[in-house]
């Protein structure tokens, strides 16, 4: 059976997204919750599990730098799949709790910020307790046995700790999405030009001292009508002003053009590394 480590604890949005990915791919797995992103990926790299599953980008908060920096610093991590999922928050409590009677609310600071309008309108006089994760807040409410304590978070959190919804969705932005990636160790990452959908991810370094080097890189894909769906830079941790560029290319029955583009980019860049060609999923 496939084993997958993920950013824990149990009941987080990461676990919820992993469950949804397993539904999309009809996977039966054993899950291992880890304390940090690095721990989750390291478990896969060391062969303790088959894959790791971690967040990589949020539509409001931007890139998850811990994940991207790990990918930047290691050449043997392959992205095997991607899923994006809406982040939907609810107020949860123990069975018998009523929203208006909650006096203390627990959650991660990011979740509290994402529900700011609800809290300003409905919880001005209620105590807000910051926790290390939304799941930790739910666990504290569950253990308290108090009908006056509530937690903010998602579906998996409520199910994990036996809580019930006290509200409908309460996040400020209904378009809050997070992307998650499934990764595994692979020393020889390649691209199959027969792919007709999904993404190809790569990272490269360019001669930043030569004017126009980034423009030339982007032109390689533009002239072949290859859609770049994301480009991001991260410091190489060498000299100031040196960067690695992360590119996500859209695959759409254009395998031959992608192969040509990769060959040209490899001749232009000072270094280039494929990070995986994979299917992408979006769930509601």
CATH class of 90-169: alpha beta
Beta strands at 228-235 and 243-250: parallel, antiparallel or unpaired: antiparallel
Per-residue tokens: 83? 């899923």
Asked if the domains 1-87+176-186 and 90-169 are classified in one and the same CATH topology, the answer is: yes
Among candidates 16, 9, 55, which has minimal Cα distance to 32? 9
Among candidates 175, 8, 182, which has minimal Cα distance to 87? 175
Chain segment 255-269, per-residue pLDDT in tens: 999 999 999 999 988
Residue 243 CB burial class (10 angstroms; 0-12, 13-18, ≥19) = middle
Element (H, E) at 52: strand 51-58
Chain mean pLDDT for the chain: 92
- Coil/strand/helix, residue 270: coil
Chain segment 220-255, per-residue pLDDT in tens: 999 999 999 999 988 877 666 678 899 999 999 899
121 preceded by cis ω (within 30°)?
no
The structural domains of the chain, with segments of one domain joined by +, span 1-87+176-186, 90-169, 194-276
Chain segment 52-90, per-residue pLDDT in tens: 999 999 888 888 989 998 998 888 999 999 999 999 999
Residue range 194-276 in CATH 3.30.70.260:
yes
CATH class of 1-87+176-186: alpha beta
Q: What's the count of helices (H) and strands (E) in the chain, helices before strands?
A: 9, 15
Residue 125: predicted pLDDT: 86
What CA–CA distance (Å, rounded) separates 9 from 74? 25
What CA–CA distance (Å, rounded) separates 284 from 97? 28
């Amino acid at each position: 059976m496939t084993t997958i480590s993920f950013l824990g604890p149990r009941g987080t949005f990461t676990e919820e997204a992993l469950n949804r990915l397993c539904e999309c791919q009809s996977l039966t797995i054993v899950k291992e919750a880890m304390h940090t992103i690095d721990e989750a990926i390291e478990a896969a790299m060391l062969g303790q599990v088959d894959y790791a599953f971690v967040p990589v980008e949020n539509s409001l908060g931007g890139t998850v730098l811990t994940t991207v920096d790990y990918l930047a610093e290691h050449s043997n991590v392959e992205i095997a799949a991607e899923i994006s999922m809406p982040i939907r928050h609810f107020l949860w409590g123990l069975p018998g709790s009523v929203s208006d009677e909650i006096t203390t609310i627990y959650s991660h600071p990011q979740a509290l910020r994402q529900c700011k309008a609800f809290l300003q309108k409905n919880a001005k006089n209620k105590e807000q307790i910051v926790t290390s994760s939304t799941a930790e807040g739910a666990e504290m409410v569950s253990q308290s046995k108090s009908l006056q304590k509530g937690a903010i978070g998602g579906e998996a959190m409520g199910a994990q700790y036996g809580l019930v919804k006290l509200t409908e969705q309460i996040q400020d932005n209904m378009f809050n999405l997070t992307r998650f990636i499934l990764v595994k160790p692979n020393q020889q990452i390649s691209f199959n030009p027969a792919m007709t959908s999904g993404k190809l991810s790569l990272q490269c370094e360019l001669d930043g001292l030569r004017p126009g080097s980034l423009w030339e890189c982007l032109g390689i894909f533009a002239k072949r009508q290859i859609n770049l769906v994301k480009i991001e830079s991260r410091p190489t941790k060498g000299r100031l002003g040196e960067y690695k560029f992360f590119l996500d290319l859209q695959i759409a029955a254009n395998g031959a053009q992608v192969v040509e583009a990769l060959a040209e980019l490899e001749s232009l860049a000072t270094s280039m590394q494929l990070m995986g060609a994979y299917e992408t999923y979006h769930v509601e």
